[in-house]
Amino acid sequence: MKVIDHIKQAKKTLFSFEILPPLKGKGIEAIYSSIDPLMEFNPSFINVTYHREEYKYKEVRDDLLQKVSIRRRPGTVGICAAIKYKYKIDAVPHLICGGFSKEETESALIDLQFLGIDNVLALRGDPIPGEKHFVPDRGGHAYASDLVRQISNLNKGIYMHEEIENESKSDFCVGVAGYPEKHFEAINIKTDLRYLKQKVEAGAEYIITQIFYDNTKYFEFVDQCRKSGILVPIIPGLKPLTKMSHIQFIPKTFNIDFPDELGNELDHCKSDEEVYKVGVKWSIQQAKELIDNKVPVVHFYTMGRSKAVREVAAAIF
């Protein structure tokens, strides 16, 4: 079932979460063990991130380094199929522009259609570590809006090099990313919203936000979207902080701020256990306020660890 239909049919705020494919070489059990503890909260859908290749320099001789491409977390499509058929829950694969030509994107979408997967979260992807700017692949998309357009075309039967008849058309529900604190490359929130609107006009039916810790920023973002004519559901994304390293890693990686009150509490933390306590308490507080304000879904980023999300979900669902 499509994410948008889950939202339309819901009588209360829904629960969903995102998982990462495990490191290459690990089995599907690693995925099941991060999903199982969250099943009792009836997730409406589970997102699976996509991780593109990274480059490494490998010594081939004393005086010669070779640039090689390595994928550490492959398996998004396979994991989605496993989730769909084991748990009978909708899986939402993330599909990115980076590293894909348009033909490769089309092949990935055809695989998803074969597997009966109805949803895709369409993203551009970040620059490869070490590169300053995002560089599309030869013949690939430069922006998520172009990817959304390709998926919308496929839904109309328009493939790269041919058109097909009605009964074989895909029917993907497409979601996109939104940034309450602005995407780090956007010159200002106004231009960011203009491009977000382009993604919706290209066919995106809902938005999932970047992680945030200040609900005011989410409420302001929703308000600005509505004033800009972006009327689709906007799903807030939350991530409980669980360790000391998150205090620097999360704001730096996701280009977000901690609100003063949370910052003050984190300042006093001296161990992972203390951060965990503050992080879970903060997420519960955030989720409760969001639910009181009738958000469509509360979406959690697990980053491969479900313990803290389980504690938060147990307090609110």
- DSSP conformational letter for 210: E
Range list of β-strands (E), 26-117: 45-48, 54-61, 64-70, 90-96
For ligand FAD, the closer CB: 193 or 241? 193
**Shortest distance in whole angstroms from residue 183 CB to ligand FAD:** 4
Site for ligand FAD in 202-241 (CB under 6 A): 208, 210, 237
Q: How far apart are CA 195 and CA 178, in angstroms?
A: 10
Min dist CB 222 to ligand FAD, Å, is 15
Smallest separation, CB 98 to ligand FAD (Å): 7
Q: State yes or no: residue 289 binds ligand FAD (CB under 6 A).
A: no
Which residue among 117, 123, 250, 287 contacts ligand FAD (CB under 6 A)? 123
Residue 75: φ, ψ to 5°: 105, 10
For ligand FAD, the closer of residues 83 and 123 by Cβ is: 123
Please select the residue that binds ligand FAD; options are 195, 223, 229, 249, rule is CB under 6 A: 195
Is residue 78 within 8 Å of 27, Cβ to Cβ?
A: no
Q: List for the chain the helix, strand, coil content (%; round to 5).
A: 45, 20, 40
Which span (4-12, 99-107, 177-185, 226-234) binds ligand FAD, by CB under 6 A? Answer: 177-185
Q: At closest approach, how far in Å is the CB of 59 from ligand FAD?
A: 28
104 vs 107: CA distance, rounded Å: 5
The residue among 144, 91, 99 whose CA lies nearest residue 120 is 91
Under the phi-then-psi rule, with left for phi > 0, alpha for psi from -120 to 50, and beta for the rest, what region is 181? alpha
Footprint of ligand FAD (CB under 6 A): 49-50, 52, 94, 96, 123-126, 143-145, 177, 183, 185-186, 191-192, 195, 199, 208, 210, 237
